A and B are shown apart, each in its own frame.
Chain A
Amino acid sequence: MLGIWILALFLLNAAEGEEVCFDRLGCFSDDLPWSGSTERPVHKLPWDPKKIDIHFLLYTRENPENSQEIDSTDLSTIDSSNFNTSRITRFIVHGFVDNGEENWLSDMCKRMLSVEDVNCICVNWKRGARCQYTQASNNVRVVGAEIAYFVNVLMEKYEYSPADVHIIGHSLGAHVAGEAGKRRPGIGRITGLDPAQPYFQGTPIEVRLDKSDADFVDVIHTDSAPTIPNLGFGMSPAVGHIDFYPNGGKEMPGCAKNPVSQIVDLDGIWEGTRDFVACNHLRSYKYYSDSIIYPDGFLGYSCASYELFQSGSCFPCPREGCPNMGHYADKFKDKNKYNFQKFYLNTGEAKDFPLWRYKVTVTLSGKKKVKGYINIALYGNDGNTRQHQIFKGTLKPSNTYTSFIDAEVNVGTVTKVKFLWNNNMINPTFPKLGAATITVQVGQNGTEFRFCGSEKVREDVLQTLTAC
């Protein structure tokens, strides 16, 4: 698989200045900027739409399990389907070597249908995606043109507004969405899930996904390391109105497992093999899918870099709030003031992925300094978290330690905090240590909670601090 891929990247083809034309869709040339540049050295013309064999599979609340196939050239298929013009329409487009009948597309539809009444259309172009990469990245243009044509038909025949259309594209599919948006101006929203990097990064905006392609473009970057030599498949520059870089955008947690553990996945061998090949790259749609059912679990913090975000300089959310990565990113549509703003957040290492960020400040009390670590667990109205380590090293009484934790639970209003310390060593003097005060700040709204404790505890004993 990898071999083919690298071969495809470097295979040079000599044909130049050719053009192909198709019914309904118009002509496609291989002139600049489509081919012949350093970013796109290989000259390839897109395939005939018949050869690519594009299918639109509709899921609605009336048929959440089984899809209905609809065709833009045969209006009777749309009329007889459950397509409803009073709902918004979301297209989901897959990427390279993927398949529109793959579970992740229909699962995403099902999750959407559980929270909203939409026309969810999975776009299947697997014939055009299962070929050399250089060919597939040109077939993107035809698939984009087909979607634009579909939206045009909806406009003309059903008076459907393109502003009610949302195209979600993964990898090459993100550029399919970009192409569709370029041909049909006024599309409401495009979501790029880790847009493909080779043959697109660094090209003019007409070739790739760009913020000009729709009224609102949001992008999730999960594999933005350079293709050479790191084999990152996704684009690194910000290209939308808002761009999210979960976990820094390069290496996703849970993707560095040993090969056996990666392939023998909880969700089966097939899902595991997919992750073995492109774990980081595929995380983008997994985060999006989870964001549908966890609206507040993926808050993006505006920051200059991931390192600054990790060190806490971009905490908490500003007064206007943080945008939600994924499905609810459009809530932030009109609040964005700057060009190409980058947002950072951390996610879990396996599903469920959402995390909630808190700032924890601990002031120690005790008599002697000891070596060890400090753990904190938060308790609130909506549950409690695991113990999170906030410091490791020399623990000095009356020193203050600050750290950020990404909790797996949104505890709501924090009611108490538990403190535990340990040095993993038997100390015959049985030193005692406690937390005098702990403050907890919630990332979502900046609310601060303060807790006090008077006792001191031995290692591995939980100290409970109450509000003060």
Chain B
Amino acid sequence: MATILPLRLLLALLLLLPPALPAPHERGLIFNLDIGELCLQSAQCKSGCCHRNSGLSLARCAPRAAEFQECSPKSLYGVYYKCPCENGLTCDADKSIVGSITNSNFGLCKDPLSSDKSR
């Protein structure tokens, strides 16, 4: 983690400095970020998911998971390896303590209503 920290600081600086640049409205530099833009926290993203592939890779805003896609439940970390589900869906994941500490409690997005009826 020690190696990531300076990188993160640099990134945070880069994200905070450019207010001098004229930012076109609708999309922002720190909040309201589009999909594919670098983020540190899910709250920054329009989609509500700041996603990274591994502990060392940079995080970017990504769309939330659709039904039958892999997901993780909402966590306090603010950055996800698998995005949370879209509205109306629940992430059917193992909610044990180990998973939520290592941020690796993955599951599948399911519709709580349709699974009761059809299966």
Contact = CB atoms under 8 A, between A and B. Distances in A.
29 contacts: A256-B24, A256-B34, A258-B18, A258-B23, A260-B15, A260-B18, A260-B38, A261-B33, A261-B60, A264-B58, A266-B60, A375-B87, A377-B66, A377-B67, A384-B66, A384-B67, A385-B66, A386-B86, A387-B86, A387-B87, A387-B88, A418-B67, A418-B111, A418-B114, A460-B88, A462-B88, A462-B111, A462-B114, A464-B114
B107 interface: no
A350 interface: yes
B18 to A, nearest CB: 7
Interface string B66-90: 1110000000000000000011110
A contact patch SS: loop
A15 interface: no
Interface string A68-79: 000000000000
A464 B60 contact: no
Interface in A226-264: 254, 256-261, 264
A349 B35 CA distance: 8
Interface string B27-68: 101000111111000000000000000000010100110111
Interface of B: 11, 14-15, 18, 21, 23-24, 27, 29, 33-38, 58, 60, 63-64, 66-68, 86-89, 111, 113-114
B15 to A, nearest CB: 7
B67 A460 contact: no
Contacts of A377: 66-67, 86
Contacts of B88: 387, 418, 420, 460-462
Given A349-B36, A387-B66, A460-B88, A260 B113 contact: no
A377 B29 CA distance: 30
B34 A257 contact: yes
Given A260-B15, A462-B89, A464-B111, A386 B66 contact: yes
Given A386-B66, A464-B113, A257 B37 contact: yes
